[in-house]
């Protein structure tokens, strides 16, 4: 991670890391100000925390994003206030795969040393390069299972010298920031997973980019299928698509029966009949958003997997659309 050992705090995962970072700053520096800047497309582990803080008297600005789900540095600049204490922007969007301009935002924020910069890097770590020190990041969240480590363990990077309010009190572990006995077996497993990431280097990312392109080209040939993930400046392991007119949950289960496991929205949040907040933010219409699926690519996937998935997708969409057309129109009251 390019940081000191003392800057690493072990947590139970990305959710705890995000909560500790955001609430820790809010409670520690509320006498300085109570304004927080974030975006409309953050993971619930950030977005819902900010909503909770609003109920506690904090003011939160949710920055809009462009059609590709990307926030601009100019938007951050315009949102800054004298009472701003924190800017929190995710590295890679968990639904679209969009990469945010973390380096540019962080470098601009360096002129405001009292405004802290938090980055949710859960989806990007090990997949999209990120220079913590160069980007002026004060706090950064990581979850081990996103790079094949154990579930239930993560990291909160906290810049040396930075003080935040601890959420968990007790034995004073992790420098007093996160009390509680450390899960050593999980931490060791996470360390091993990080070493494997280093060994793989950029080779795996290049391989995933090729699979992503194969998937995108295949979907482009299917009538009525729309890729929501932008073509450039995105992570190679995430693809979001919509099949308007076909409910996402129905298509998801149809594909599952053919041996393909995909998801709707975030894997951590999938309220039925509610369109994705992220897709709504980029201007996707409700019907299209309700039919969206997220495809995640990993180390074990092959070009043959992509080919088989495309075949299964086309078959499932065809069957479901035929079924929908055969359904009688709903009766209307006179």
pLDDT-based confidence at residue 329 (cuts at 50, 70, 90): very low
User: pLDDT tens across 91-109, in order?
Assistant: 999 999 999 999 999 999 9
> What's residue 267's pLDDT?
52
pLDDT-based confidence at residue 165 (cuts at 50, 70, 90): very high
Distances (CA, A) of 258 to 167, 283, 312, 315: 44, 32, 7, 10
Residue 212, token pair as written in the block: 């992503």
> What's residue 123's pLDDT?
96
- Percent of the chain with pLDDT strictly greater than 90: 89
pLDDT of 60 above 90:
yes
User: pLDDT tens across 15-30, in order?
Assistant: 999 999 999 999 999 9
Task: Return the exposure string of 136-168: e unless at least 16 CB atoms fall within 10 Å of the residue's CB, then b.
Answer: bbbbbbbbbbbbbbbeebbbbbbbeeeebebee
> What's residue 274's pLDDT?
82
pLDDT of 51 above 90:
yes
User: pLDDT tens across 259-277, in order?
Assistant: 999 998 655 555 557 899 9
The C-alpha atoms of residue 136 and residue 159 are separated, in whole angstroms, by 9
Topology at the third CATH level for domain 5-198: 3.40.640
Cα four-point dihedral sign 205, 206, 211, 214: positive
> What's residue 323's pLDDT?
76
Give me the mean pLDDT over the 58-65 stretch.
99
> What's residue 264's pLDDT?
86
pLDDT-based confidence at residue 1 (cuts at 50, 70, 90): confident
> What's residue 2's pLDDT?
84
User: pLDDT tens across 96-145, in order?
Assistant: 999 999 999 999 999 999 999 999 999 999 899 999 999 999 999 999 99
Give me the mean pLDDT over the 246-250 stretch.
93
> What's residue 269's pLDDT?
52
| pTM over cut 0.85 | yes
Domain extents for the chain?
A: 5-198, 203-326
Cα four-point dihedral sign 298, 102, 52, 69: negative
User: Of the residues 3, 50, 225, 268, which is catalytic?
Assistant: 268
The C-alpha atoms of residue 261 and residue 310 are separated, in whole angstroms, by 13
- Beginning with the edge strand found earlier in the chain, give each strand of the sheet holding 116-120 in spatial order: 8-11, 154-158, 139-143, 116-120, 84-88, 35-39, 59-63
The C-alpha atoms of residue 31 and residue 124 are separated, in whole angstroms, by 33
> What's residue 331's pLDDT?
47
pLDDT of 324 above 90:
no
Please name the CATH architecture into which domain 203-326 falls: Alpha-Beta Complex (3.90)
pLDDT of 155 above 60:
yes
Q: How far apart are the first and last CA of the chain?
A: 67
288 is catalytic: no
Give the pairing of strands 116-120 and 139-143.
parallel
212-216, 267-271, 290-294, 323-327: the lowest-pLDDT one: 267-271
pLDDT of 152 above 80:
yes
pLDDT of 37 above 50:
yes
Give me the mean pLDDT over the 309-314 stretch.
98
pLDDT-based confidence at residue 334 (cuts at 50, 70, 90): very low
């Amino acid at each position: 991670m390019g940081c000191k050992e003392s800057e690493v705090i072990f947590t139970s995962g990305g959710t705890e890391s995000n909560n500790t970072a955001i609430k820790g700053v809010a409670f520690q520096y509320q006498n300085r100000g109570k304004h927080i800047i974030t975006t409309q497309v953050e993971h619930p582990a950030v977005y819902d925390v900010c909503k909770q803080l609003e109920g506690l008297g904090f003011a939160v600005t949710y920055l809009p994003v462009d059609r590709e789900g990307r926030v601009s540095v100019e938007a951050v600049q315009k949102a800054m206030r004298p009472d701003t204490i924190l800017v929190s922007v995710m590295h890679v969007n968990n639904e679209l795969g969009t990469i945010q301009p973390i380096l540019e935002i962080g470098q601009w924020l360096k002129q405001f040393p009292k405004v802290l910069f938090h980055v949710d890097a859960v989806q990007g770590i090990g997949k999209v390069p990120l220079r913590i020190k160069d980007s002026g990041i004060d706090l950064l969240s990581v979850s081990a299972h996103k790079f094949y480590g154990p579930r239930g363990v993560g990291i909160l990077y906290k810049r040396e010298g930075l003080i935040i309010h601890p959420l968990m009190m007790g034995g004073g572990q992790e420098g007093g920031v996160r009390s509680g006995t450390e899960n050593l077996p999980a931490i060791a497993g996470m360390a091993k997973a990080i070493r494997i990431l280093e060994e793989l280097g950029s080779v795996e990312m290049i391989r995933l980019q090729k699979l992503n392109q194969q998937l995108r080209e295949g979907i482009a040939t299917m009538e009525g299928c729309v890729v929501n993930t932008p073509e450039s400046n995105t992570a190679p392991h995430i693809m979001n698509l919509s099949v308007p007119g076909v409910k996402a949950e129905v298509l998801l289960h149809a594909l599952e029966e053919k041996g393909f496991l995909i998801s709707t929205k975030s894997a951590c949040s999938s309220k039925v009949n509610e369109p994705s907040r992220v897709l709504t933010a980029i201007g996707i219409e409700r019907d299209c958003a309700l039919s969206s699926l997220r495809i995640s690519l990993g180390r074990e996937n092959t070009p043959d997997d992509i080919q088989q998935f495309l075949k299964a997708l086309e078959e499932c969409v065809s069957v479901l659309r035929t079924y929908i057309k055969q359904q009688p129109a709903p009766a209307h009251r006179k």
